[in-house]
Amino acid sequence: MQKYKLVCEKCGKEYGAEKIYTCSCSGRLEVSINIDAIEVSKEEIMGRRGNVLAKYFEFLPLLATSPKTLGEGYTPLMKSERLCEKLGLKNLYLKNETVNPTGSFKDRPIVVGANKAVEFGAEVLVSASSGNAATSLAAWCARFGLKCVTFVPVDAPKSKLAQLQMLGALVYRVVLHEKGKDPTAEMLAFCVRKFGWHPVPSFGSFNPYQIEGAKTVAYEIAEEIDADAVVVPVGGAGLLLGTLKGFKEYRELGWIEKEPIVHAVQSEGCAPLVRAWKERSEIRAWANPRTVAGGIADPYTWDGNAALKLMYRNGGTAVAVPDSLILEAQESLAKYAGIFAEPTGSASLAGIIALRDAGVIQSSDKVVCLVTGTGFKDLDIVVTRMPEVPVIEVGRGWI
C-alpha cells in the first residue's frame, strides 16, 4: 500500500512517491500520508525513544530505512509554575524547542526535507534564509558531507552570516531591484531550474516534504497532555501548518479524542496571515516588514493559505502583537521559566498574553506555548536592552 501521495494545491493533480518538488503547473504540492497504511500501534510509538525520524518514521514521507539525523526533536514539555502565577494562568506549558541540535524547531522540518533530497540523489542542497532554517541545513550538510548553498538578504546580520560560513555553507547575499519579490527565493528557484540543485528551505512551495517534519511537534505534545490550546509563532507558516496536520492525523487515527485549538501569532509589523484570517482572503505580501522578531519578519506567508484552510476547520484565532509585548514575553520566559528565547521564539507567549486579555484563552485552559528558538541566535537585541553591569570593589558596594 502506498505510503503517501502529493496533491497540487493549484490544479489538484496527484503524484505518487516520485522525484518531484513542484507540480507540472508550478503549483504548490502538499504531502498526504496514507493513514490507512499505518500499522504501528499507539503503544509502540509511545514506547519508542530518540529522534523524530526513528520514532515517527511511519508518519513521514521517507522511504529509506536509515535516514540521517542530528538527533532532532524529543524536546521537553514543561509546566512553569512561576510563569503561570505571573500571567494568571493555571495550566501553561512550554514546549522548549531551543534544545534542538541547532537551537530551533527548524531542525524538525529540515531533517525531513534534507533526507528526502538525499533519497532523490542530491549532492547540492540549497536554501533561501539567513536564519534558523539555513543554520539547520548547513549543520546537517556539514555532518553528512553534502554541499550547502545559502542565499541571504543583502542586509543580513554579519553574525548570522559568520555562523553559516563556520558550518561550511557557501553563502551569497542577494539583491533584486523588483518590488514585491523575495530575492533569495527568486535566486533559489533560478538555481533549482538551471543547475538541478535540491531545494531545502523552510517553506513548502519549494519542498513539500519538510512540512511533514514540523508536524512531529504536535505528536509529541499529544502524547504528553490533553491540551485545550496551542499557540504558534508564524513567519512562513510551516510550523503552523505542520502543527495543525499533526493533531488532525492523531485524531483521525483515534489516538486523541479532540484536537486542541491552534492559534497563530504574528508581529504587528509583519502580519500577512493575520490580515488574511480577518478578511477571509488569500495571503498578500506585506509591505516593509518591521519587527524585532526577525524569524517571523516574512513579507509573504508561503504556507499560509494551506494553513488557513486547516485553521478555519480547527477554530483557531490569528492575532498580531506589538514588538513591546514580544520583548516583555522574552524577558518573562527568561526570568520566570529559565528559558532564554529569541524574540521570534517569544512571540507565542506574547500571543498567549494577548489572547488571554481578549478572553479567547481562559485562566483554567491547558495551554501550550511553542518556544521555537534560542536567544543565543539574536544577542544584539538583548545587549541593547540590558542595563550596564556595575563595577564593585572586593567586599564593598555590592548590596
Collapsing DSSP to helix, strand or coil, 362 comes out as coil
Start-to-end CA span in the chain (Å): 70
| Cα angle: 300, vertex 305, 308; to 5 degrees | 120
pLDDT for 179 beyond 80: no
Q: Compute CA 104 distance to the chain's CA centroid, rounded to the nearest angstrom.
A: 8
> Which pLDDT value is given to residue 299?
87
- CATH class for the region spanning 77-103+210-384: alpha beta
Half-sphere exposure of 35 (CA within 13 A, CB side): 11
Give per-residue pLDDT as tens, 56-66: 999 999 998 88
- The 10 Å CB-count burial string (b at 16+, else e) for 174-205 is beeeeeeebbbbebbbebbeeeebbbbbbbbb
Give per-residue pLDDT as tens, 63-94: 988 899 999 999 999 999 999 999 999 999 99
Residue type, 22: T
> Which pLDDT value is given to residue 65?
84
Query: What's the pTM?
Result: 0.95
Q: Where are the domains of the chain?
A: 77-103+210-384
Q: Which of 75-79, 89-93, 154-158, 191-195 has the lowest mean pLDDT?
A: 154-158
> Which pLDDT value is given to residue 180?
64
Query: Is residue 53 very low, low, confident or very high in pLDDT (cuts 50, 70, 90)?
Result: very high
